[in-house]
């Protein structure tokens, strides 16, 4: 679902997506996105954020509505609309790309997120699961397999890996990881995060044939398939 009032932009972006195998439809507003999502299957939402449309201010409705709350939501922020960036982050939008940007980045992000989502949907029939490359996580049983071999994770490492599997290839800040893995996050330092990530990295290195945790200096960590 592409939310935009610019027909030419929609036609260009929909063509780029179609070449890569994605079907798309146009919505002129956040309200129309919600209405269409009630009548048709939607896998992701792309917002065309411009200075004159204030989609950032209205984007919170997407994450608060049951029809779209679990969908990957991507904002394409045009020059002059940078002020919407904070609004988008506060709304829980999953990813922001500031234009101009390489379309390949958007395609890679959608492929990664939707591949994980598809694996989760398939796994829900036999127990909720997440999968990325040769890693599979069973959420109901707290079991993790790498390249077919089961590995044992502590509760913190399990939460960290789960968040990474839900956001593959995305750089996750230490503060974000603290928020998802520790109940009393106020007493946790970034150094503690580094220690647990180091332990998780060692476990994956021993078992996975392709997946590794990449350190991004001054930014955080990202789960990546290095064989791709």
pLDDT of residue 124: 44
pLDDT of residue 116: 52
Strand partners, 162: none
CB 43, CB 117: distance < 8 Å: yes
CA-to-CA distance for 25 and 149, rounded, in angstroms?
Answer: 41
Tokens 């610019």 -> residue:
6
Q: Are residues 47 and 146 in the same domain?
A: no
Query: Is 24 contained in some domain?
Result: yes
Please give the share of the chain, as a percent, with pLDDT higher than 90: 39
Q: Are residues 85 and 166 in the same domain?
A: no
Q: Are residues 96 and 28 in the same domain?
A: yes
Strand partners, 145: 136, 150
CA-to-CA distance for 194 and 213, rounded, in angstroms?
Answer: 12
CATH number at residue 35: 3.40.50.2300
Q: Are residues 87 and 155 in the same domain?
A: no
Cβ atoms within 10 Å of 79's Cβ, excluding its own: 10
Q: Are residues 118 and 50 in the same domain?
A: no
Q: How far is CA 101 from CA 24, 25, 77, 200, 205, in A?
A: 20, 22, 10, 33, 33
Tokens describing residue 95:
């990813």
- Asked which of 101, 130, 149 is the last residue of a domain, the reply is 101
Query: Is 74 contained in some domain?
Result: yes
Tokens describing residue 32:
């129309």
Query: Is 170 contained in some domain?
Result: yes
Q: Are residues 93 and 19 in the same domain?
A: yes
What is the DSSP code string of 90-145?
HHT-SEEEESS--HHHHHHHHHHHHHHHHHHHHHHTTS-EEEETTEEEETTTTEEE
Nearest to 50 by CA among 89, 93, 99: 99
Q: Are residues 87 and 115 in the same domain?
A: no
Tokens 């509760």 -> residue:
155
Tokens describing residue 88:
């988008």
Query: Is 48 contained in some domain?
Result: yes
Q: Are residues 89 and 115 in the same domain?
A: no
CB 131, CB 116: distance < 8 Å: yes
> Which residues form the domain of 41?
2-101
CATH number at residue 133: 1.10.10.10
- Asked which of 68, 101, 134 is the last residue of a domain, the reply is 101
pLDDT of residue 59: 86
Nearest to 114 by CA among 143, 73, 63, 144: 73
Q: Are residues 136 and 217 in the same domain?
A: yes
What is the rounded (10 degree) CA torsion for 216, 221, 225, 228? -30
Q: Are residues 96 and 119 in the same domain?
A: no
- Asked which of 101, 130, 163 is the last residue of a domain, the reply is 101
Query: Is 106 contained in some domain?
Result: no
- Enumerate residue ranges in the chain where pLDDT < 50: 117, 119-127
Q: Are residues 138 and 217 in the same domain?
A: yes
Q: How many domains does the chain have?
A: 2
Q: Are residues 130 and 177 in the same domain?
A: yes
Query: Is 167 contained in some domain?
Result: yes
């Amino acid at each position: 679902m592409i939310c935009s009032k610019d027909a030419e932009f929609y036609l260009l972006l929909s063509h780029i997506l179609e070449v890569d195998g994605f079907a798309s439809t146009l919505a002129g507003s956040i309200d129309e996105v919600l209405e269409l999502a009630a009548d048709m299957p939607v896998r992701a939402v792309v917002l065309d954020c411009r200075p004159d449309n204030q989609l950032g201010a209205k984007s919170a409705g997407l994450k608060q509505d049951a029809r779209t709350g679990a969908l990957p939501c991507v904002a394409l922020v045009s020059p002059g609309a940078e002020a919407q960036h904070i609004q988008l982050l506060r709304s829980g939008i999953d990813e922001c790309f500031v234009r101009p940007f390489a379309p390949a980045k958007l395609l890679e992000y959608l492929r990664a997120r939707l591949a994980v989502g598809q694996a989760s949907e398939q796994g829900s029939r036999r127990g909720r699961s997440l999968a990325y490359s040769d890693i599979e996580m069973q959420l109901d049983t707290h079991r993790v397999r790498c390249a077919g071999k089961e590995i044992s994770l502590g509760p913190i490492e399990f939460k960290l890996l789960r968040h990474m599997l839900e956001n593959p290839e995305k750089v996750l800040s230490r503060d974000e990881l603290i928020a998802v893995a520790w109940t009393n996050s106020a007493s946790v330092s970034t150094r503690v995060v580094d220690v647990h990530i180091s332990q998780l990295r060692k476990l994956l290195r021993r078992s996975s044939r392709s997946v590794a945790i990449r350190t991004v200096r001054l930014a955080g960590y990202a789960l990546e398939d290095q064989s791709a």
